[in-house]
Structure 1
């Protein structure tokens, strides 16, 4: 049996609700022969009468009542589906899948999510904690719609990456060390115990290059890939670290001190999406992120 036509089902409901083929024709702006054809087509496909064609009203048969009960739910879901797609196309509702590191998600996304909740509560940003490499791979494979990634990145087919923001990397130090320099050099920091990002992160490579330019390659006391955990260990006096300035708790925690680096070091982030014209929903979140970067 071929699929049931939704327009035919709407016609059947209109006849049952209006009590006559003429009432259904008027409600649906169809000719009476068209209404008759729609009902006859359904009955032919299902192999059973669906309406008692009596006077003064047309009433459903038992099979017709069963079909009508299911058709109401089916048509309501179809209407909801059409509405959801239209809202997505208009940039008003739907799901956007975004990949980024934990630190970036915690620090830079809340203002964007807050604005979206106020302006378009129907937009659901689904966050995935990923490395930059995994985010770019997810974009290329169509598993993600947007990403925030560390820069620079090698070109990847099918993925567009634009600079988003640039933040200084700072020395984050235990305040109990006292008598801290005004700025921190690679030599001064390399002589201290270190708590650094693990080797799989872009920040770790960035910091290793900073030390290497001074001819140094210090070994960290411990490596992690979660910046808040790094800060906690630094606050406990376990060691010093290098972290991007992201407005985190370093300025609020009296146990932490921050100092600029000499020479300076910067962490750049990019905004990434699949190449080609984005749909309105992805474009809306993209533009909010661009505006948030300031």
Structure 2
């Protein structure tokens, strides 16, 4: 049973394309680990990564915390995370569990750091932050961070990327009943939600960038890993196919069979209990 405050449409939005998501999405930058560990002022005993997906934001903590738990309600996403973990040696202190952000299987004041990477906007913020109040130790940290889409590369390709995402959202609104649509909350409200919760004695936003090497296949894959595009595919709609093929062609022309450096811009909102 899904706990109150959670939506099945949000959980199931990522079903059926976990492999695409894991192949093309960026891993969490190591800078996140450094920033949060510095604020904590010690190596964390327990990190919980909420809405951890395929483990891209969980496994970066593997050697930087005594225990790491990735919490993910979507079975498809979590199964890939578990498979990756089984292939890593010496990972007994890391685990992935089913669960929801507002109903954690953790004792009161037992967690040092809670992270939400590309996930807090899918959660009901009030009950999630109340649960953070319960499980975080005094001085513990809650951090929600996201990268901006699309990654910085070329304004024409970025414009096509944005237009395709907008078309996908319009198709979903046209073809599905409102109560069946996933609810994506405004990321720009994350910091205010932390402040309004009354849980934290200090809050702030940190903006940083991370460079990665990319080829045409990956840049197209980043577009295809977006939930809106995948929802359109699952609805059986083919209206975006010509636009996707044009985008693929333009990406290949830009990369010319090679690689380029792309820039992911991140926004991290944190609260210290």
TM bin (shorter chain): under 0.3
TM-score, normalised with respect to structure 2: 0.28
| Bigger CA radius of gyration | 1
TM-score, normalised with respect to structure 1: 0.27
